[in-house]
């Protein structure tokens, strides 16, 4: 089953979910803002994405700009920040087994479905 880290208020997230549904795929929505991911879940997804925690941070988010921009933090510190501030997680993320992509642009999803 395909999973999507989904924010229903985000137009990009909604368009990716619609795309997956139109492909006839069974999709599990993970509403990470309602039920934040644990640090271990974040580590697991980062491995599937094959990126560093800082590369998963929404850098245009006001919270990032006011509290974290320019700070020299290690990966574990960024993982804790993402676990405690899920709105900083770049979305949408589509997970298929051991692979995951950030669905921006939407066509990146084709690499894992």
- Domain total in the chain: 1
Tens digits of per-residue pLDDT, 37-72? 999 999 999 999 999 999 999 999 999 999 999 999
Residues serving a catalytic function are 10
- pLDDT at site 53: 98
- pLDDT at site 66: 97
Expressed as residue numbers, the domain containing 75 is 2-111
SS3 102: strand
SS3 27: strand
Confidence of residue 27 (pLDDT cuts 50, 70, 90): very high
The enclosing domain of 87 has a CATH number of 3.40.30.10
Residue 106 near residue 15, CB atoms below 8 Å = yes
């Amino acid at each position: 089953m395909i999973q999507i880290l989904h924010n229903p208020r985000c137009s990009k997230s909604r368009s990716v979910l619609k795309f997956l549904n139109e492909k006839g795929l069974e999709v599990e929505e993970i509403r990470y803002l309602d039920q934040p991911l644990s640090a271990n879940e974040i580590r697991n997804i980062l491995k599937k994405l094959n990126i560093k925690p800082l590369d998963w941070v929404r850098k245009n988010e006001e919270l990032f700009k006011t509290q974290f921009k320019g700070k020299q933090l290690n990966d574990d510190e960024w993982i804790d920040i993402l676990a405690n501030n899920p709105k900083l997680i770049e979305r949408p993320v589509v997970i298929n087994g051991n692979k995951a992509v950030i669905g921006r642009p939407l066509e990146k999803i084709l690499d894992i479905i």
